[in-house]
Structure 1
Amino acid sequence: MNDPRAVGAQIRSRLPSLTPLEGKVAQEILARRDITTETPLKEIAEKSGVSEAMVVKVAKKLGFDGFRAFREGLIAYYTSESAALHTCITPEDTAGVIVQKVFRTAMQALEETFAILDLVAFERAADYLYRAKQRDFIGFGGSAQIARDVAHKFLRIGIRASVFDDAHMMMMSAALLGPDDAVLAFSHSGETAAVIEAVELARKNGARVIAVTNYSQSTLARAVDVVLCSTAENSPLLGENATARIAQLNLLDALFVEVAQKDRASADANLARTMRAVKSKRRT
């Protein structure tokens, strides 16, 4: 983890792989801002109410070589500009403070999502979507709204996708997919049962599947061909989902551009055609 901005994001993305106790310890340590290079393992363990061996175990499951690397990573993260962007909203905050905190939290999500982006996975996802004959974009709730936004962008350049936010429709379409098709599955938690079931069926039939999620170790992430991770620090009022949505929309905007670049001439021609088609609907 050479980029300090990626430390917090990497830790949060791996939380689902931890046991409830390990997750509690990880979140307690991540929430601390007083850790220094002099903070001993014993102190961390005592404040978390666990053994020193448990802290080391958690550090390794989070991707660090051991406690010292974990401690150094946290110190680098908390002194980064990215970590400083996030502060919780309080009942006493004025309108000006609220606007500042909401915008800065969104900026943090963008910075950290960019820091953890796997460019190899990103390019594979673009290739799968570009080459696919049929594209299914699936998700529920807020995730479905992101899927619709992305499908709209792709339609503008002549790349069609079907959006499903109904469990039965997802499964019916997945049953008809094959090796020439692709699925773009959205789930913030990566644990949405209906999405996972549709993804598993689609992959069984040979389709390529891309997941957009906040957790790299989630059930959905383990069930797909390519994982694109967004990240957001939890906020009691805003919630993790709301902030992550900003990062996901930007991530998918980049994916849209990458796909368009694969045949820029066709993309530009189709964009001009679709813009002309709706121009008559605008009042000038």
Structure 2
Amino acid sequence: MNRNTIAIKIKSIYRDLNDRQKKIADFIIENPDAVMHGTISTISDTLGIADSTFFRFIQKLGYAGIQEFKIALAKPGESNNNPSIYEHVQSSDDELTIARTVFDSNIKALQDTKDLLNADSFKKASKILNAAHSVYFFGISGSGVIAYDAYHKFLRAPIKSEFNFDYHIQLMMASKLTENDCAIIISHSGLTKETIQLAKIVKENGGKIIVITSYSLSELAKYADVCFISTSEEIQYRSEALSSRITQLSILDSLYVAYMFNNEEKANESLKKIRKAITNVKSKPDI
């Protein structure tokens, strides 16, 4: 954990903070040295808040206390750039410059998401998947494309996988989950009503839920047994929702690879069957 990670964490919760909490968040981002060298009392006095309010905000970021928070704040990290400042494509840029800007944006999003990865979350998610009889993927619109990619990937795994683009069918699928099943639900905003309804149904039926979102305090995240945060960089003509795809895919890739390694013998047998079926329909090159 370092200063850059703290800034990324703040970004992931900022939208859902109240005005007082946003005031604290802004102060930390704009005055990291003052926070690092101050006490809870001096910082709280400066902000005009109670000591307990500042302490609860630190806990919301995932830190046990002020000392742990200051240690992280003291580490500059690989990048000192404020994650709320993006490099925009300029009208004078040529095609190669535009391409490099897009690549840089994706690389930064991946690095920021990597910095937020939590060992406990991956262990818990792996435990859920390893124990599950089946895994269902849910997502609406653009998130549905990500869910479909994950479904396509997990078809190679020795676990029953389900997905459908039709929302009504997703609702029916969600109603059939049991405590022996896992739902992986994807939503950049975590506010999509349809996705939240799916999570409610899964939870009511006892299914385990892994959520992938960009907002850890979102309504959807509240239903998660495990929540992964996918950060993203917005550039001109490409919203955060679109650019979060690459980080969402990377989290899903990680879950897939971990599952395959945890179930290596069955995974190898499943891959053999898949490869044999696909090989039989591939055209052979002319000799």
TM-score class normalised by the smaller sequence: 0.7 to 0.9
* TM-score, normalisation: structure 2: 0.79
Q: Deviations over 1:225-263 (max 9, x none)?
A: 110111113334221122211111111111101111121
Runs of 4+ in 1 over 6 A off after TM superposition: 56-60
* Partner of residue 18, structure 2: 19
Residue aligned with 1:91, SS = coil
Question: 1:72-221 maps to which residues of 2 (within 5 A)?
Answer: 73=73, 76=76, 79-80=79-80, 87-221=87-221
The RMSD of aligned alpha carbons is 3.3
Task: Tell me how far apart the structure 2 counterparts of residues 13 and 105 of structure 1 sit (CA, whole Å).
Answer: 17
Mind listing any 5+ residue stretches in structure 2 that lack a counterpart?
36-45
Query: CA 1:151 to 1:83, structure 2 compared with 1: closer, same or farther past 3 Å?
Result: same
Task: Tell me how far apart the structure 2 counterparts of residues 90 and 36 of structure 1 sit (CA, whole Å).
Answer: 31
Equivalent residue in structure 2 for 1:53, among 48, 56, 63: 48
Query: Quick one: which amino acid aligns to residue 189 of structure 1?
Result: S
- Compute the displacement of 1:166 (Å): 3.2
Mind listing any 5+ residue stretches in structure 1 that lack a counterpart?
40-50
Query: CA 1:245 to 1:159, structure 2 compared with 1: closer, same or farther past 3 Å?
Result: same
Task: Tell me how far apart the structure 2 counterparts of residues 134 and 265 of structure 1 sit (CA, whole Å).
Answer: 18
Q: Deviations over 1:42-65 (max 9, x none)?
A: xxxxxxxxx9437x9689637387
Query: Quick one: which amino acid aligns to residue 158 of structure 2?
Result: G
Task: Tell me how far apart the structure 2 counterparts of residues 265 and 156 of structure 1 sit (CA, whole Å).
Answer: 13
* Partner of residue 223, structure 1: 223
Q: Deviations over 1:119-166 (max 9, x none)?
A: 211122122223212321100112111111111111113323111333
Q: Deviations over 1:95-132 (max 9, x none)?
A: 12111111111111111111111221112212222321
Identity among equivalent pairs (%): 26
Query: CA 1:52 to 1:96, structure 2 compared with 1: closer, same or farther past 3 Å?
Result: same
Q: Is the 8 A contact 1:151 1:162 kept in 2?
A: yes
* Partner of residue 9, structure 1: 8
Task: Tell me how far apart the structure 1 counterparts of residues 157 and 47 of structure 2 sit (CA, whole Å).
Answer: 56
- Compute the displacement of 1:279 (Å): 1.2
* Partner of residue 43, structure 1: none
Q: Is the 8 A contact 2:2 2:75 kept in 1?
A: no
- Compute the displacement of 1:85 (Å): 10
Task: Tell me how far apart the structure 1 counterparts of residues 261 and 6 of structure 2 sit (CA, whole Å).
Answer: 31
Task: Tell me how far apart the structure 2 counterparts of residues 264 and 82 of structure 1 sit (CA, whole Å).
Answer: 41
Residue aligned with 2:183, SS = strand
Query: CA 1:239 to 1:274, structure 2 compared with 1: closer, same or farther past 3 Å?
Result: same
Q: Deviations over 1:27-78 (max 9, x none)?
A: 7985x7xx68479xxxxxxxxxxx9437x96896373878xx79x9499369
Question: 1:30-45 maps to which residues of 2 (within 5 A)?
Answer: 37=33
Residue aligned with 1:7, SS = helix
* Partner of residue 266, structure 2: 266
Query: Quick one: which amino acid aligns to residue 142 of structure 2?
Result: G
* Partner of residue 281, structure 2: 281
